[in-house]
Amino acid sequence: MTRTTRDITTRRVALKTIAAAIAGIGAARIVRAAGETIPHLTDSNPAAASLDYTEDTNDVDPRKYPQHTAQQRCANCKYFDPKAGTGGPYAPCRLYPGNAVNVNGWCAGYAPPAAAAKSDATR
């Protein structure tokens, strides 16, 4: 059986349609993931309350947390996961699964990024 030009053209169209459908499914997943929102962490969360989570690192009580510095904030904590966020001021924190924290927030669970902690340890 020989292939005709029409058979080859039909096959090409079918493959392009399948490729476009697969690309469309991938794009839909990305849009849905970006559009999803998770609840913002509040002190009604017992773990957040026990670690004194605040949405503004400048509100941290220096008498209670003398080790805290103004540079410490969720945005540079190793538990902050901006890639899982929507690009806004909130993103998930791995210490509080299912909750988003503010980039300017802080809690007593703060930990510097692994690279910074490693370089601090060598000083």
**Under the rule (CB under 6 A), what is the footprint of ligand SF4?**
53, 74, 77, 79-80, 93, 95, 101, 105-107, 109-110
- Distance between CA 4 and CA 16 in Å, rounded? 19
What residue number has its CB nearest to ligand SF4? 77
| Shortest Å distance, C-beta 65 to ligand SF4 | 11
Q: How far is CA 87 from CA 33, 34, 75, 100, 107, in A?
A: 12, 8, 12, 12, 21
**What is the C-alpha end-to-end distance of the chain, expressed in Å?**
76
Are 67 and 110 contacting, i.e. CB atoms less than 8 angstroms apart? no
| Shortest Å distance, C-beta 120 to ligand SF4 | 16
Q: Which is nearer to ligand SF4, 26 or 39 (CB)?
A: 39
Q: How far is CA 8 from CA 3, 11, 14, 18, 22, in A?
A: 7, 5, 10, 15, 21
| Shortest Å distance, C-beta 19 to ligand SF4 | 40
Q: Which is nearer to ligand SF4, 21 or 117 (CB)?
A: 117
Q: Which is nearer to ligand SF4, 1 or 114 (CB)?
A: 114
| Shortest Å distance, C-beta 26 to ligand SF4 | 29
Q: Which is nearer to ligand SF4, 5 or 44 (CB)?
A: 44
The H or E element containing residue 17 is helix 5-35
